Amino acid sequence: MDDEILADVASSRGGSNSVTAILVDREKLMVANVGDSRAVVCGGGEVKQVTTDHEPNKEIEVIECRGGFVSKMPGQPQDLKNYMDKKLQIKLNANRMVVGTLRGFDQFMNLVVDNTVEVNGNEKTNHGIGIVM
């Protein structure tokens, strides 16, 4: 049964997104995200996005920023993309955690789910769908 499930996942083209936060000693905030779910800190009249969205249309930029390269090849580009996605997945998703110290005037943080920002923008997400901490 496990082998069947793993085989289905390996050939799947699906994706996921998530955002999580941990507050350590009421001062240090650790935030991580995958996809376009994001964390937004609000306080002192400011709204500040503290995570970076992962966007499929920026794949080349992300690969090149990490020292890789992308070249166009004739043939079956989708097969190459699928192969590279599996090989590079861990490297491309590494180092996505943000660590910072809360400011005295920070009032709350909103963990915003997918698509809410596209409709509302950061400033209005505190009234949208999300988890307020």
pLDDT digits (tens, 9 = 90+) for 89-99: 544 444 455 55
| pTM value surpassing 0.75 | no
**Residues 130, 76 share a domain:** no
H helix or E strand, kind and range, residue 84: helix 77-93
Domain hosting residue 70, numbered range:
56-95
Distance of alpha carbon 13 from alpha carbon 37, whole angstroms: 19
- Number of H helices and E strands in the chain, helices first, is 4, 7
**Residues 20, 84 share a domain:** no
The answer to whether the beta carbons of residues 115 and 99 sit under 8 Å apart is no
Residues of the chain with pLDDT under 50: 90-95, 119, 125-130
The answer to whether the beta carbons of residues 57 and 67 sit under 8 Å apart is no
Residue percentage of the chain with pLDDT more than 70: 43
Q: What is the pLDDT of residue 73?
A: 59
Quickly tell me which residue has 């090989």 as its tokens: 87
Distance of alpha carbon 83 from alpha carbon 107, whole angstroms: 45
**Residues 45, 63 share a domain:** no
Average pLDDT score, the chain = 66
* pLDDT 10s digits, 56-70: 677 677 778 878 776
**Residues 67, 47 share a domain:** no
Structural domain count, the chain: 2
Residue 8 lies in a domain: no
